[in-house]
Structure 1
Amino acid sequence: MTDTESRLSSRASQETGSEIRVMFERAQAIDDVVRLEIGEPHFDTPVHVVEAAAEAAKGGATHYTSTYGMTELRAAIAEKARTDNGVPVDADGVIVTNGGIEALALALLSVVDPGSEVVLPTPEWTNYAAQVELAGGEPVRVPLSPEDGFDLDADAVIERISDDTAAVVLCRPTNPTGRVYDEESVRAVAEAAADHEAYLVADEVYERLTYEGTRTSAAALGDPEWVLSVNSFSKGYAMTGWRLGWLAGPEDVVDAAHVIRQRLSLCSSSVAQHAGLAALTGPQEPFEEMVDAYRDRRAYALDRTAELPAIDPVAPEGAFYLFCNVSSLEGSSMDVALRLLEEEGVSVTPGTAFGDAGEGYLRLSYATDQETLAAGFDRIESFLAQR
Structure 2
Amino acid sequence: MSLLPLEEAFANVEKGISVLSAEQVSVADCLGRVLAENVAARLTQPPAPVSSMDGYAVRAQDVLSQPVTLTRVGESQAGGPYDGTLADGECVRIFTGAPLPAGADAVIIQEDTDVFGDQITMKEVAFEGKFVRKAGLDFSEGDILLHKGRVLSARDVGLLCAMNVPWVKVFRRPRVAILATGDELVMPGEAVRESQIISSNSLMVAALVQAMGGIAVNLGIAGDTEESLRETLSGLDCADLLVTSGGVSVGEYDLVRKVLGEEGLDIDFWRIAMKPGKPFMFGHIGNKPAMGLPGNPVSSYVTAFLFLRPALRKMQGGAFEQDKPVQVILGAAVPENGVRQEYMRAVFSQDPDGNLVATPYNKQDSSMLANLAHCEGFIIRPVNAPALSAGEKTQAIYLKDAMVSV
TM-score, L = length of structure 2:
0.27
* Higher RCO (Cα < 8 Å, 6 or more apart): 1
Q: Which has the larger radius of gyration?
A: 2
Greater strand content:
2
